[in-house]
């Protein structure tokens, strides 16, 4: 399968995966409450998925370097489908937890293997474009998924889980019959050596700085997502309907930039410049959010933040796969793990900051953006010593 044909297929795969994931978001809290979940148990139910992703994404990424991308993609999507069906059939809370854990464990294979697949089939020049397309699919899936879930929840609270399960099954069939393996048999043996590197040893690599950069970006984003509803209600009197539209607009803006501009920008300026632009825009967006006083300002300022934040992840993914000349799955698995860790820590951290002062999560977001910017500078200086001046285009 050529790159030109493969990228639209990967877009469809990740779009349907994230639609299925997004469908259950608006109904899961109410569904869990019906099964007797306390507020603490509900929080744990939401967090356990990200915890499983944090633990197991590197393992699946390394395994994809050894056995190929397609088998792991199939396993991850099928596991996600089964978890949705188990949740739909749950009559006790422990079954819901078991299904959520199973889904997090198996579906943590999806993102690192898809990103490794993109790295396999794209040239270094087009790597940013490929990662941007995957990011756009994820963003649009999160836009449409919750809306679809809200519609089907009117039938019953279990119905969105069935819809998500069938959506994932369709995606499984799409991968099974359309997607071709991207990692030739002969190249898999070359990645085994990278796989044998001890886990702690990976923290000594030059990639570690980029992993932590993404970690701080993820903390700030998750903190915003967890607190903005309260902030907007207090500062602008916005309700759930207005907030739904605002996050939908933000999602569309980020997805459009990822799918249409990231590739062009990284090809022209290099991933490093795009990462720096994204971090600066995110910090600027955090500052503007403090000025929100009505629906229009909330939609505009949050969209500016979303555009800046949206270009960072695909650019970091592209730069990581360029730096890791072998073992793409291992590299993208570690990136997914750090991203998940940020999403685990971000919501309670943001909530704690909000309890101290209403705007503190966004002031802290500016600080975390500055830390991420500094980390990129450290990475750039480190890489500049290793490569000739003519090869630093992607780092600038």
- Domain finish residue from 127, 161, 176: 176
- Do residues 135 and 249 both lie within one domain? no
- pLDDT at 197 (0 to 100): 47
Domain count along the chain: 2
**220 lies in the same domain as 349:** yes
Q: What is the pLDDT of residues 229-285, one digit of tens each?
A: 889 888 888 887 788 888 888 888 888 888 878 888 988 889 999 999 999 999 999
Q: What is the pLDDT of residue 325?
A: 63
CB proximity list for 240: less than 8 A, separation 6 or greater = 229
Q: Do residues 150 and 249 both lie within one domain? A: no
**Calpha distance 126→120 (Å, rounded):** 11
Over residues 34-45, the pLDDT tens digits come to 888 887 888 788
* 174 pLDDT tier (thresholds 50, 70, 90): very high
328, 31 contact by CB (below 8 A)? no
Domain boundary among 176, 211, 241: 176
Tens digit of each residue's pLDDT (9 = 90 or more) over 230-244: 898 888 888 877 888
Can you tell me the distance from the alpha carbon of 147 to that of 142, in angstroms, rounded to the nearest whole number?
9
pTM assigned to the model = 0.86
15 has a pLDDT exceeding 70: yes
| Percent of the chain with pLDDT strictly greater than 90 | 46
Task: Give me the CATH number covering residue 224.
Answer: 1.20.1250.20
Q: Does residue 190 belong to any structural domain of this protein? A: no
Same domain? For 16 and 119 the reply is yes
Based on the fold, state whether residues 171 and 205 are members of the same structural domain.
Answer: no
* One domain for residues 9 and 138: yes
Name the residue range of residue 142's domain.
Answer: 1-176
pLDDT tens for 191-212 read 544 444 444 444 456 788 999 9
**200 CB neighbour count, 10 Å cutoff:** 7
Q: Are residues 265 and 373 in the same domain?
A: yes
For residue 336, being part of any structural domain is answered with yes
**One domain for residues 149 and 233:** no
162 and 263 within one domain: no
Burial zone of 219 (CB within 10 Å; 0-12 exposed, 13-18 middle, 19+ buried): buried
User: Rounded distance, CA 209 to CA 360, Å?
Assistant: 26
Same domain? 170 vs 238: no
Same domain, 205 and 140: no
Residue 182 in domain: no
Residue 367 counted as domain residue: yes
Instruction: Say whether both 344 and 271 belong to one domain.
Output: yes
Rounded-to-5 percentages of helix, strand, coil across the chain? 85, 0, 15
């Amino acid at each position: 399968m050529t790159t030109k044909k493969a990228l639209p297929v990967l877009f469809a795969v990740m779009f349907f995966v994230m639609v299925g994931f997004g469908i259950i978001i608006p109904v899961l809290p109410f569904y869990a409450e019906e099964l007797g979940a306390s507020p603490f148990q509900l929080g744990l139910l939401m967090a356990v998925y990200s915890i499983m992703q944090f633990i197991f994404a590197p393992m699946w990424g390394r395994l994809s370097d050894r056995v190929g991308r397609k088998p792991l993609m199939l396993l991850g999507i099928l596991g996600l489908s089964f978890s949705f069906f188990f949740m739909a059939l749950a009559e006790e809370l422990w079954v819901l937890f078991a299904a959520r854990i199973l889904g997090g464990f198996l579906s943590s294979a999806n993102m690192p293997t898809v990103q490794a697949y993109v790295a396999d089939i794209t040239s270094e020049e087009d790597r940013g474009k490929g990662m941007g397309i995957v990011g756009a699919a994820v963003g649009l899936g999160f836009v449409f998924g919750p809306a679809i879930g809200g519609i089907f929840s009117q039938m019953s609270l279990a119905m969105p889980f069935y819809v998500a399960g069938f959506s994932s099954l369709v995606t499984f069939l799409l991968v099974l019959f359309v997607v071709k393996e991207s990692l030739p048999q002969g190249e898999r043996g070359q990645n085994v050596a990278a796989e044998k590197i001890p886990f702690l040893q990976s923290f000594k690599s030059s990639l570690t700085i980029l992993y932590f950069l993404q970690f701080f970006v993820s903390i700030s984003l998750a903190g915003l997502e967890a607190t903005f509803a309260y902030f907007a209600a207090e500062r602008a009197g916005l309700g759930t309907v207005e907030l739904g539209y605002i996050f939908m607009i933000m999602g569309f803006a980020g997805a459009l930039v990822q799918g249409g501009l990231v590739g062009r920008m990284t090809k022209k300026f290099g991933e490093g410049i795009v990462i720096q632009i994204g971090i600066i825009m995110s910090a600027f967006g955090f500052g503007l959010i403090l000025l929100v006083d009505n629906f229009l300002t909330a939609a505009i300022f949050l969209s500016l933040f979303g555009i800046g934040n949206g270009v960072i992840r695909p650019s970091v993914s592209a730069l990581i796969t360029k730096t890791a000349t072998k073992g793409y799955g291992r590299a993208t698995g570690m990136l997914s793990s750090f991203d998940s860790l940020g999403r685990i820590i971000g919501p309670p951290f943001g909530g704690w900051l909000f309890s101290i002062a209403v705007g503190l999560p966004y002031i802290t977001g500016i600080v975390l953006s500055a830390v991420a910017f500094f980390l990129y500078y450290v990475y750039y200086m480190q890489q500049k010593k290793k490569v000739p001046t003519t090869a630093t285009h992607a780092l600038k």
